Structure 1
Amino acid sequence: MNSLLKIPSLLLGLIKPKSNKLEIECYGQGDSAIEMQQIQQIIEWLFASLMNAGYQGMSHLIWDLGEQDWKQVALTGLLRDEPVFLYRCNDRPSLPPEHCYWRLMTEYSSLRIYQLEVLER
């Protein structure tokens, strides 16, 4: 029943007009114990990576403490065809939504950034 209540917010996210400029929306940043300088470096790296890939639009960055439920954020991004990233603040990332996985982005030196990918059937 609880997931049925989230359907209207997912649908609203789908009809929201897509951005034509590069934006990174962050979630959970206030919960993490990461210093502002480190946060800035991570966002700058992600911004440069997205620009280098030629991406324009909204992307999502989750500051994850582990064992958190980010399914609504992740699914909204996936349904709108927007990249979803996760920065692992603790030992393990939170579980991805069903039929998805967190792909480690080895391009970043800390090995703590993941991109949400859909499992191939």
Structure 2
Amino acid sequence: MAQRKQTFILINDRVRENALLAIAAAGEGSAVTIGPKTRSGDQNAKFHAICTDIANSHMTWAGKRRDAEAWKVLLVSAHTVATKNDPGAPSPEIVPGLEGSRPDGRDLPQPFRCQQGQRACYSLRGFA
């Protein structure tokens, strides 16, 4: 029987016990990773909805209306700069895109390309 992937959010002793039982029952070659909770699909959907709402509004940037993907890049870039001195915030380096391109949906600051923790995601949604 194929082993299914399980995720446990350690919120109480019972969940911790279930995680230990799953580890004890895991097959040879299974992998276990422990780390902070990452942002969820629901959080991603909320942020993308914010970007879509802005794109559908009459807001402009640099004299033009932008699509949701461009607003995503603009908001992530602005949030990265605005929070760069916050304690615990990643130390971003924002560089021009290839061939001198500007944020158009292809150039994202590196810290938000990878999985960010929930704190960063809440901060970004609040910033938007």
Higher alpha-carbon Rg: 2
Kindly indicate whether structure 1 or structure 2 has the higher relative contact order, using CA contacts under 8 Å at least 6 residues apart.
2
The TM-score, its normalising length taken from structure 2, stands at 0.31
Q: Which has the higher strand share?
A: 1
Q: Which has the higher helix share?
A: 2
The TM-score, its normalising length taken from structure 1, stands at 0.32
